[in-house]
Structure 1
Amino acid sequence: MREVFGYEQFRGPQADIVEHVTAGGDALVLMPTGGGKSLCYQIPAIVRHRGGQGVTVVVSPLIALMHDQVGALHEAGVEAAFLNSTLNASEAAEVEKRMLRGELTLLYAAPERVTTPRFLAQLDSLCERGLLALFAIDEAHCVSQWGHDFRPEYRALAVLHERYPSVPRIALTATADDLTRQDILERLQLQEARRFVSSFDRPNIAYTIVEKTNPTQQLLRFIRTEHAGEAGVVYCQSRKRVEEVAQALVHEGIAALPYHAGLDAGIRQQHQDRFLREEGLVMVATIAFGMGIDKPDVRFVAHLDMPKNIEGYYQETGRAGRDGLPADAWMAYGLQDVVNQRRMIDESPAGEAFKQALRGKLDALLALAEATDCRRVRLLAYFGEASRPCGNCDNCLSPPQVWDGTDAARKLLSTLYRVQQMSGLSFGAGHVMDILRGKPTDKVRQFGHERLSTFGIGAEFTEAQLRGLLRQLIAIGAVAVDAEAFNTLRLTDGSRAVLRGEVPVQLRQAIAQAVPRRRSGDARARADSVQAGLTLGGRERFEALKAWRGEVARAHNLPAYVIFHDATLAAIAAQDPRSLDDLRGISGLGTKKLEAYGDEVLRVVATAR
């Protein structure tokens, strides 16, 4: 830990995990994004390699993550390589030769490659010679059909246990509820593995969820007010929406790039590289972007559409604030989000039991969105962790008003029943709400719905209130959306209990814009809080070190944070070192980096003094 990575102590359960895996034990590790999962297998890999036990194979689903992880290991003086499609045949062959000679400490490869007959034959050779040290399966939730990012190719990884039972395995993920955890253990045959579950809490992230009115304008207001000039990720449901939002941000003077599976692979890679290497860029993306992105200074993650479940939401929001500094998770959601997500579940070819589980996960996310109590308490409770109100989410900072929607729900369902009874047809949400609120539109008159006994009985309710009510009724299954009939509404078996008043419906008042927590202009100061405590001279040294780091990163074709984190530069700036001995012991400055960069760091500091 100290010699290679330059850290003085482990965090949380890292020490126990490292000791267990180094000794040859299997492990399942659940640790939040930014919690230090990589060290949990990298340190055992180094120790076992030095002990003559050979190479550690890291299963990773992402090329970008492999590239940056290997680059960071090289910077720390560790022999590592990757096998993926970015290598030509001769380059791949050279990596394979180094692996077979036992020269590599870690080799990163995708699950599709690891399970090929050719690669397995190479692993056989290593195993026979006692040169197969460890299997590390990263993003292990991908193996589970219950996870938010299921990848069928992960299922084949069970072969690693069947074929190499004596080689220890560590599976790691940042997000998994109980159902997903059990599936990971079963699918990877890790039932006997020791389980390490860290706290899921990310106290530096502030959660805010608002109701959609004009989502693009709401997003613009949020970025300008809270995060002007800062790096962030904006998630949208569709490729088309990604393009529209990216263009809108650029039009408003915000540096933004689109990312989705429909873009040319070269453009996607270019955009991802720019996001990782440049400061202040906003990436507008589908969920195709983000897994394994280690950029530490992402100050916000915004959702313009509701995700499928809490695991996906937590995984995506966890990409903010990896450096431990304050960050925001902001989401806008509306009735159409609920309709779309329910429709996708209902129309899927999966079995009814699977659909029911997905509905339960969606309902849990909707409950988080509609909650009137602490968001963080709700979020952590989903993962089985008890907590106290955080004082740092929108509900804690500006408690919402609550209203009893039970009577409104009964009136809405009664209107829906009478409309269908009178016309023999189904209608959409807007038309049903017009009847309930007593609005004599052309369509209402066309069908004679102004003559219904329920016409106008909900005049006291606003459209926003009724849309919130419909979200809840759809979520609990009291109203269904017929996708084949232009998203019209219909009653269900679950409607009866609500009509009878047996199911109370408590709702939050619609809030389209959260009360700003900070004054505009504070964002830069917040992002630079890593410099807190530095003198004026220390800040000058810090800026000089950042500029130098940028030059080194460009020369090595790596993100700047792979060379040194901001916290390390701030510690150097505060120390004002005069010799290499002064640099020893600074967090993040291991032996290899001290040898490679120590003299240059001293030069930069002296120049800025």
Structure 2
Amino acid sequence: MPSRPASDTPLAAPALAAILHEVFGYPAFRGPQAEIVAHAAAGGDGLVLMPTGGGKSLCYQVPAIARHRAGRGVTIVVSPLIALMHDQVGALDEAGVPAAFLNSTLDSTEAARIERAMLAGELVLVYVAPERLSTPRMQAQLDAMAAAGRLSMFAIDEAHCVSQWGHDFREDYLALSMLAERHPGVPRLALTATADAHTRADILERLALQDARVFLSSFDRPNIAYRVVEKDEPRKQLLAWLRAEHEGEAGIVYCQSRKKVEDTATWLSAEGIPALPYHAGLDAGMRQRHQDRFLREEGLVMVATIAFGMGIDKPDVRFVAHLDLPKNIEAYYQETGRSGRDGEPAEAWMAYGLADVVQQRRMIDESPADETFKRLQRDKLDALLALAEATDCRRVRLLRYFDEGSTPCQPGLQQLCDNCRQPPATWDGTEAARKLLSTLLRIQQHARDTGRGARAYGAGHVIDILRGKRSDKVAQTGHDQLSTWAIGAELAETQWRSVLRQLIALGHVLVEGEYQTLAPSESARAVLRGEVALHLRQAAEAVRGRPKAGGGSSSRRAALPPSDLDAAGLDRLAALKAWRGEVAREHNLPAYIVFNDATLLDMARRAPATLAELAEVHGVGAKKLEAYGRELIRVLDAATGG
């Protein structure tokens, strides 16, 4: 580990807890925060893995404040997103912490002013994009700060971006390795919400943090319910789910292509669901306007590609939906984790079909990456397919991927995954699997016998052979002469698609080559010999009309605890939200940065009548008490009829 300056002695835990309460208004650290904060405040290097909504920002903000008060200078925060920088700095300003950002939105005069304040040690935190950090101008600035003893700490947010094995690799992050070389005495704290063991090792190596302490929090998000459905007119499935479960609530819908994003946003809006598109093809101004609206307005749905989401701090996102399969479990976990940051119930919904599997494999196979990288990406995709096809607890499988043990959902808990809420119907699909695998072998043999070679015989063609359905392609290929012709006529097309999809997920069928040819894998031999029994999930068509467990509703509303607010409390809450909205518009900030919903709810419940009583409310720090205290007392008094 890089050596610490001699003056970099540990700071007392009570002092750190006092900062948490005084500045941010929180009575105590949560989970591993206290240990991480103490380690970072004492100048230790670290890698922090903590789920979205777990309080990662406090893990570097509290040490930054403590170290600044101890005369150790400014903390530099590496952040990849301009919008996130603006919101973080806005929130710190509201809390009374001197902070700034350096990015392309500033003119030269304002940037120079901030650089002077940095060198003078007047700021506590400065947010910088990774590409700016490596510029000669910024390096000269950091060298000057270090020489003056005013470079306190580096916090590298979204650290998974440095790893090529991760789900969101960014080349600009690779240059961050130079921080250890140029400033070996300055502690570094890398933070991320999502990284499997392979990615964690890569982060440590690429950021030269091999000797750093690793803080690995639980990956469990117990307030998020997981649900996967078979695609059957997915847009209509999405609309029905939104109307039944999340009417008027904020959420994100992810699509793979830009066109699908725009079409889906337009369609949802026409159906009465207010929705905005977001993808990299839109001009920067429109993307910014749409993001600002999503952050500041209530009840909006953002339909987006993966270009949207990293660093979105909006706490009241109630759902994340996927209309297409993500790349891997890390991406799925990161994207679904953007819901329920406030700890209230939220839902992750995904529609999934055979075409998703083929498309994802094609993207891997056609990428310019080397074979080692492709092999790892295929393995990660296989893990996601196994999660999607699972008949057991999805939460257990999700956590197992991150090497964390868990137990299945238990009845009566606040949230249940779909498999635990309504155990899926299964059937013995061994014989059907053998028929399908035999058909693939016969197609291969026919190609060799006729000299046709590899051809793009997709799922539809294979199923036509199994069901004995004559098509133009069947006539052209002569596949109606195969010995397996019509041996699967007893199953519907949707059932065969389900069988094929599950065989791919289980690794018994490969999708390979330029033509994305379906072929039996090595493990298929045991299935063909009858040595492996396959119990498969029934296709949606086979269980259509089956009544849902528990009265048919999995709505988050059914899981919410009863409110303890009486009529007067509800009036206070409404008045507080109206007041917050006015302040947010005046300060040009998202409402949750002024006060989040949990703080307003605590105010409405307690009904503080004095500043001393208001100071005890969760989330009311000293600066906010001074800035808003008397006005809040007035609003509460008026709402109560005082």
Q: TM-score, with normalisation over the residues of structure 2?
A: 0.91
Q: Which amino acid aligns with 2:418?
A: D
Q: Which residue of 2 aligns with 1:275?
A: 294
Q: Which residue of 2 aligns with 1:196?
A: 215
Seq. identity, %: 68
Determine if contact 1:232/1:301 at 8 Å carries over to the other structure.
yes
Q: 2:109 is paired with a residue of what secondary structure?
A: helix
Q: Are 1:583 and 2:602 matched, yes or no?
A: no
Q: 2:261 is paired with a residue of what secondary structure?
A: helix
Match of 1:401 among 414, 425, 430: 425
Decide which moves more: 260-269 or 514-523: 514-523
Q: Which residue of 2 aligns with 1:535?
A: 566
Displacement after TM superposition at 1:517 (Å): 7.0
- 1:56-71 equivalences in 2 (<5 Å): 56-71=75-90
Q: Which residue of 2 aligns with 1:259?
A: 278
Q: 1:453 is paired with a residue of what secondary structure?
A: coil
Q: Which residue of 2 aligns with 1:558?
A: 589
Q: 1:58 is paired with a residue of what secondary structure?
A: strand
Structure 1, residues 69-92: CA drift from partner, whole Å, max 9, x if none?
000000000000001111111111
Decide which moves more: 436-445 or 384-393: 436-445
Determine if contact 2:79/2:85 at 8 Å carries over to the other structure.
yes
Q: Which amino acid aligns with 2:613?
A: D
Q: Which residue of 1 aligns with 2:495?
A: 465
Determine if contact 2:73/2:152 at 8 Å carries over to the other structure.
yes
Partner Cα distance (2:597, 2:550) in 1: 25
Structure 1, residues 487-542: CA drift from partner, whole Å, max 9, x if none?
55345556545433455544211237894878789767878x6x921111011011
Q: Which residue of 2 aligns with 1:500?
A: 529
Decide which moves more: 467-476 or 233-242: 467-476
Partner Cα distance (1:12, 1:524) in 2: 27
Displacement after TM superposition at 1:439 (Å): 2.0
Decide which moves more: 348-357 or 235-244: 348-357
Structure 1, residues 158-202: CA drift from partner, whole Å, max 9, x if none?
111111111111100000110011111111111111111111111
Partner Cα distance (2:82, 2:428) in 1: 51
- 1:505-516 equivalences in 2 (<5 Å): 505-511=534-540, 515=548
Determine if contact 1:297/1:322 at 8 Å carries over to the other structure.
yes
Structure 1, unaligned stretches of length 5 or more? none
Partner Cα distance (1:167, 1:510) in 2: 57
Partner Cα distance (1:153, 1:579) in 2: 50
Partner Cα distance (2:146, 2:526) in 1: 62
Partner Cα distance (1:41, 1:178) in 2: 23
Q: Which amino acid aligns with 2:529?
A: R
Q: Are 1:165 and 2:184 matched, yes or no?
A: yes
Match of 1:109 among 106, 128, 143: 128
Displacement after TM superposition at 1:450 (Å): 2.6
Displacement after TM superposition at 1:416 (Å): 2.2
Structure 1, residues 547-584: CA drift from partner, whole Å, max 9, x if none?
00000001111000000011111111122222211212
Decide which moves more: 498-507 or 282-291: 498-507
Determine if contact 2:386/2:506 at 8 Å carries over to the other structure.
no
Q: Which amino acid aligns with 1:271?
A: H
Q: Which residue of 1 aligns with 2:393?
A: 374
Structure 1, residues 455-475: CA drift from partner, whole Å, max 9, x if none?
111122232232122223334
Q: Which residue of 2 aligns with 1:548?
A: 579
- 1:408-447 equivalences in 2 (<5 Å): 408-422=432-446, 424=450, 425=452, 426=455, 427-447=457-477
Match of 2:109 among 90, 111, 128: 90
Decide which moves more: 448-457 or 381-390: 448-457
Partner Cα distance (1:456, 1:158) in 2: 61
- 1:14-33 equivalences in 2 (<5 Å): 14-33=33-52
Q: CA RMSD in A?
A: 2.0
Q: Are 1:297 and 2:316 matched, yes or no?
A: yes
Q: Which amino acid aligns with 2:537?
A: R
Partner Cα distance (2:43, 2:374) in 1: 39
Determine if contact 2:77/2:128 at 8 Å carries over to the other structure.
yes
Decide which moves more: 572-581 or 140-149: 572-581
Determine if contact 1:429/1:488 at 8 Å carries over to the other structure.
no
- 1:350-361 equivalences in 2 (<5 Å): 350-361=369-380
Structure 1, residues 329-357: CA drift from partner, whole Å, max 9, x if none?
00011111110111111112222221111
Cα distance change on mapping 1:341 and 1:517 into 2, 3 Å: farther
Partner Cα distance (1:525, 1:444) in 2: 51
Partner Cα distance (2:530, 2:276) in 1: 50
Q: Are 1:146 and 2:138 matched, yes or no?
A: no
Decide which moves more: 93-102 or 2-11: 93-102
Determine if contact 1:246/1:284 at 8 Å carries over to the other structure.
yes
Displacement after TM superposition at 1:480 (Å): 3.9
Aligned length: 606
Structure 1, residues 111-166: CA drift from partner, whole Å, max 9, x if none?
10111111111101111111011100000111111111011111110111111111
Q: Which residue of 1 aligns with 2:66?
A: 47
Q: 2:356 is paired with a residue of what secondary structure?
A: helix
Partner Cα distance (2:32, 2:94) in 1: 25
Q: Which residue of 2 aligns with 1:596?
A: 627
Partner Cα distance (1:381, 1:420) in 2: 37
Partner Cα distance (2:38, 2:185) in 1: 17
Q: Which amino acid aligns with 1:422?
A: H
Partner Cα distance (1:96, 1:461) in 2: 70
Match of 1:155 among 151, 169, 174: 174
- 1:322-333 equivalences in 2 (<5 Å): 322-333=341-352
Q: 2:540 is paired with a residue of what secondary structure?
A: coil
Structure 2, unaligned stretches of length 5 or more? 1-19, 411-415
Determine if contact 1:226/1:518 at 8 Å carries over to the other structure.
no
Structure 1, residues 263-321: CA drift from partner, whole Å, max 9, x if none?
01100000000000000000000000000001111110000011011000000000111
Cα distance change on mapping 1:517 and 1:542 into 2, 3 Å: farther
Partner Cα distance (2:187, 2:33) in 1: 17
Determine if contact 2:421/2:549 at 8 Å carries over to the other structure.
no
Q: Which residue of 1 aligns with 2:325?
A: 306
Q: Which residue of 1 aligns with 2:482?
A: 452
Q: Which amino acid aligns with 1:83?
A: L
Determine if contact 1:224/1:520 at 8 Å carries over to the other structure.
no
Q: TM-score, with normalisation over the residues of structure 1?
A: 0.96
Structure 1, residues 216-242: CA drift from partner, whole Å, max 9, x if none?
001001101110110000000010110
